[in-house]
Structure 1
């Protein structure tokens, strides 16, 4: 197997890991105002991802860095043509991270409410725009002979891309609801299961439609299997959630996300960014770095990727237990004003 193909597979793996892990983070953030009916319940919801959300975002950073190093032409064209959507994603992620850190800094209901809204929008915007971005990558965008983006922002907001955004939003909301049912106890757990029962309908409708159109327009024979596997994962998640088997429901939603992303990357290969103008498209061959660069990167990835995976797996094992409102300590009371 050529190193260009190897690195296409590695980058696909990095993005798949990011969407699997950050997907339930986004879902939890989007469901915060739905499942957290008071401050204590909202603290429970946030604490389910508190120890892991920043580690999950590392996969995005590594995926971007790997794309830059292995396929610099792809990176340059992608980040210039998709500048505004990616900037919106970056701002949303920054605001979301700040909200997690600053929400509890003041004992003020309005202060916490503002940061709760920031968590909601900071989760919803990336969940939607990642779907828009990857749908456009598979569909192709206007590229000239120099591999420069020749379209406008409106070209990225085509019906297929918007459907992709709705699909990722619904999938991540379902993934987050199932994760909350798996990680919480008491009323929040049962509320999350009810929400998951509703979200799975939206995920099947939006995700199924998107994958079907993808298969009919851009798919290959093998992607029928991955797309069908993604649909089966959603159906299995719905059945497991109905029976109260949260662990198996999470496996089902996770499998659906993994297989859906696999469908997109398999349909894309050997292209990395097709051109709708008939020329100027980028492939694994004309967008790649030198063979020596890819060889060095392969050794580095082989050495450090297992370490990162072991460490992150250990983190999830340490914080594997359920939490509920009984585990949340009382909010610190305001200190009395000093007498002058």
Structure 2
């Protein structure tokens, strides 16, 4: 009788063990090529591409009459002040370390999770023209060096390595190819990209484009391998069709939407200045890079994203709109 019980116990253990192994293997397969290294896994080899293998983009159509073909460059530096934190005022206001990864900032020097419209309006700024808006994005890291400075380990969640400083930052507003633009309201919140694109099952909200400084006509959603001497580039284009009512919304996407074909805004929305943030980095040849991300996103380049809060004065925003609608190229 004892032998029969021991045999039955052995059979049950074998069955349960086989099921557990199958479940683990199934989960690993479902996770795809990024799986297998815990929170620090990724990026995968398939996340990188030689820029020479990326097709050239077609030339943009010329602007027609009665459009807003101007541009405004806002000089805000390249985060020489070392403004980093793990907060996200747009997505997680009031929650310290709510981003779970590190953001870099230009513009408003006070921005953190506890910022309010009033505190932003009273703070100093890195923008030489006095724009107190805040512009921010996840940091890019080089994986061949361990980070030792503040914020290089504070985010945790598998975000490791030395933070690459931006070699250049261009904050720029552009007009609409479909008509004139109207002013953004003060303290409008905006977001571009999808921080959970790796697990989202869709690239519908993937917006950031990567490239190399020597190939401005090639853009990709992969990390680019650039020729020696080129900088790695990131371009973050924000939605520019405002619903005319709200400065924020649940999910952060319904109050400010992207234009459709030909730059036409969806019904019941109004074209406002289109924000573009262009970043570049000096990446040594052969060095792998990774974007800060949530651990389950495996540092996928498709998860790149950016946020802003418009804290320009009404006078500053009016000057931006006038420049765009008159087709001029301006600086502030």
Bin for the TM-score computed over the shorter chain: under 0.3
Structure with higher Rg: it is: 2
More strand by share: 2
More helix by share: 1
When normalised by structure 1's length, the TM-score is 0.24
